[in-house]
A and B are shown apart, each in its own frame.
Chain A
Amino acid sequence: MRLRLPIGFILLLAATALLGSENLVQFSDESLRARYQVLITELRCPKCQNQNLADSDSPISGDLREEVQRMLEQQLTDSEIKDYLTSRYSEFILYRPDVNKTTYLLWGSPVVILLIGLIAALRLSRRNTAQVVCSGRTEIDHETRLAELLKSGEDDK
């Protein structure tokens, strides 16, 4: 008896999940859906600071999702769709922009930073092995010196 309310509540929640899973966007050919999903996650909402078209609730994102769907139905290629949008909203709209003179730093810097890190790591590891060899040698020096001292002490007796 006491369980009835929580169970009812859980069923209600489950019902909302069902509602959400309904496919709201209809395609004449289901193969377009996969491309649609990729495109709307890679395209950025022009109004919001850091959301893609898939995430954003803003009206402009809704309009642009419709545009993407319309162009997919018109058999446009992915790059044609991106060109269409960048000619209007600039490269801002691409989360994965092409490599060109304004984006080479963006694409290149991870590689450069990785190289700097590798070089630093190599140099540091080399220096460490050199130190080990060096301290090994001084140890031998200490031993000979000790032996010499002991010897001279014995001589003094």
Chain B
Amino acid sequence: MNRIALFLPLALFAVLTVVLLLGLDKDPAELPSALVGEPFPIFSLPSLHDANQMLAEQDILGDVVLVNVWATWCFACRIEHAMLNQLAEQGVKVIGLNYKDNREAAIDWLRKRGDPYAFSIFDERGGLGIDLGVYGAPETYLLDATGTIRHRRVGVVDDRVWNSEFRDLYAQLVSNKR
């Protein structure tokens, strides 16, 4: 009994080492998603291109879509934009959520860099952002045809992220819809 007890600190140390090593792989900046599996929040906001045109959650339903949260003040969005253009060319429906931005600057940005968005929601005060739990742009949500959030990515979506996190789920959701 005493001999086993002598190894107890070593065993504890081993367990702690494993736990801490596993912890190294985790990104502390990443929040657990509270909205995956939940319906997209209800909203009523103007379109980015036309202040008189109101958009609501019904406009998102019916298709498998990506909702991309972006802003002209967001540096990483510049890097992401080419990827979004590419996805839109491949036939992925991308909806823009312009987050706490300046309308003219945002329209100008899309004119210069290309507009991958089927339409853009203009969330000037960030109210929809709060309902979505947005804490920084860019963020990208994958929604199924019923408007349920199926995946969320905080940060840039590039080739690697698309292939590892989105592609298969997207294909599966599209085939489910048919």
Contacts and interface: CB of A to CB of B under 8 A. Distances in A.
A67 B133 contact: no
Contact of B31 (A63, A67, A87, A90): A90
Contacts of B46: none
Interface stretch (B53-61, B76-84, B124-132, B155-163): B124-132
Interface residues of A, number: 15
Contacts of A46: 31, 133, 135
B28 interface: yes
Contact of A89 (B29, B100, B126, B135): B135
B34 A90 contact: yes
Interface string A132-149: 000000000000000000
Given A63-B130, A67-B130, A89 B136 contact: no
Nearest to A87: B34
A47 B130 CA distance: 13
Contacts of B86: none
A152 B50 CA distance: 118
Contacts of A59: 100
Contacts of A89: 31, 34, 133, 135
Interface in B18-38: 28-29, 31-35
**Size bracket of the B interface:** 10 to 19
A86 B38 CA distance: 13
Given A47-B136, A60-B136, A88 B31 contact: no
A64 interface: yes
A49 B29 contact: yes
A86 to B, nearest CB: 7
Interface string A80-95: 0000001111111000
A92 B130 contact: no
Q: Which of B34, B35, B100 has the most CB of A within 10 A?
A: B34
A139 to B, nearest CB: 27
Contact of B34 (A49, A63, A67, A88): A88
Nearest to A89: B133
B24 to A, nearest CB: 16
A88 B130 contact: yes
A86 B34 contact: yes
Given A59-B100, A63-B130, A47 B33 contact: no
A46 B126 CA distance: 15
Given A46-B135, A60-B135, A88 B35 contact: yes
Contacts of B131: 88
| Shortest Cβ-Cβ A-B pairs, 5 listed | A46-B135, A88-B133, A90-B34, A90-B32, A92-B31
19 contacts: A46-B135, A47-B135, A49-B29, A59-B100, A60-B134, A60-B135, A60-B136, A63-B126, A63-B129, A88-B130, A88-B131, A88-B132, A89-B133, A89-B135, A90-B31, A90-B32, A90-B34, A90-B133, A91-B32
